[in-house]
Amino acid sequence: MSTLTETGNPTGSAEAASGRPAYRVTGRRVLASEWAKLWSLRSTWITLALGLLFLVAFGVIAASRYTSMTGSPRMDRDFARSTALSLSLFGANFAQLALGVLGVLVTAGEYSTGMIRSTMAAVPRRLPVLWCKAAVYGLVALVVGTVGAWIAFLVGSRVVAGTPAALALGHPGVVRGLLGAGLYLGLVGVIGAALGALLRSVAGGISVLVAVFMLVPGLASLLPSSWQADLTPYLPSNAGQAMYALTHDATTLAPGTGLLVFLGWTALALAGAAYRLRRGDV
């Protein structure tokens, strides 16, 4: 009997000796951690506020300018064909930069400060960190973009009331466009987070983000006409804009197709970030 030893759980014995409960890494806890880290940064509040401000302010300014120029022979032909929806969402191009830049900061910021080592020590499997960062920030960007789009439309539609651009909320395609704009901005935030994890540089991630969404569409206009018709609708920015456009023609994608193409670009960015995270050193 004296040679027998009690075979218990060594982990449980250690927990009992230390008096502290054991904590397991779970998806819920990683999400909670990323949520807390996101809101602990002052830049989060400032950048989200700027994104909301850009979306609402530029939309109202565009609607006001349209109203003041209604009936004027100096009004540009394309501008004259604007609707309350397109005018209200005029600020989406500016809001996407703010939300995309914050997405880069969410991931690349940890590499610049060295905090990523603590994060990976707490979550050794690595990939859950990327998924949770993208999910948390993507949801926040989605909510901010959707709220901003609705506010911009509700205010802008009042500004253009009585003009040819006037649209009611119940007009076909309006609700779909507002929800599409919010979804587009949420996915831009996810792409920003993926670029930050892929490049591990705040400056590099922001540069690529600006190039993809602002510079490449302009450069594509220099291509031959036949190439433009085949390529430009599938660029990330053009595919995203198709998600919330009220009308479409032969040169643009349908809303559903635009969503699928933009989801493909988002998945590609996340796949690159996941590969770098698994294969590269912290």
What DSSP letter does each residue of 168-228 carry, written as one string? -TTSTTHHHHHHHHHHHHHHHHHHHHHHHHHH--HHHHHHHHHIIIIIHHHHHTTS-HHHH
pLDDT of residue 41: 85
How many whole angstroms separate alpha carbon 153 and alpha carbon 168?
10
pLDDT of residue 20: 52
Residue 141 tokens read as 């960007």
- Mean pLDDT of the region 161-184: 93
- Mean pLDDT of the region 248-268: 92
Q: What is the pLDDT of residues 83-142, one digit of tens each?
A: 999 999 999 999 999 999 999 999 998 888 888 888 888 887 888 899 999 999 999 999
pLDDT of residue 280: 67
Q: Which of 52, 59, 242, 202 shows the shortest CA–CA distance to 141?
A: 52
pLDDT of residue 257: 95
This prediction has a pTM of 0.88
Residue 13 pLDDT > 80? no
Residue 155 pLDDT > 50? yes
178 burial type by CB count under 10 A (0-12 exposed, 13-18 middle, 19+ buried): buried
- Contact between residue 38 and residue 142 where contact means Cβ atoms under 8 Å apart: no
H/E stretch holding 243 reads: helix 236-244
Query: Quick one: what percent of the chain has pLDDT higher than 70?
Result: 91
pLDDT of residue 120: 80
pLDDT of residue 247: 86
Q: What is the pLDDT of residues 20-38, one digit of tens each?
A: 555 577 778 888 888 999 9
Residue 195 pLDDT > 90? yes
Q: Name the average pLDDT for the chain.
A: 87
* Angle, in degrees to the nearest 10, between helices 127-159 and 255-279: 150
How many whole angstroms separate alpha carbon 79 and alpha carbon 85?
13
5 in the Ramachandran plot: left (φ > 0), alpha (ψ -120 to 50) or beta?
A: beta
What radius of gyration do the chain's Cα atoms show?
Answer: 24
Query: Quick one: what percent of the chain has pLDDT higher than 90?
Result: 60
pLDDT of residue 17: 47
Say which residue the tokens 């509040």 belong to.
45
Answer with the residue of higher pLDDT: 54 or 8.
Answer: 54
For the chain, the domains span 24-279
Residue 148 pLDDT > 90? yes
Q: What is the DSSP letter of 82?
A: -
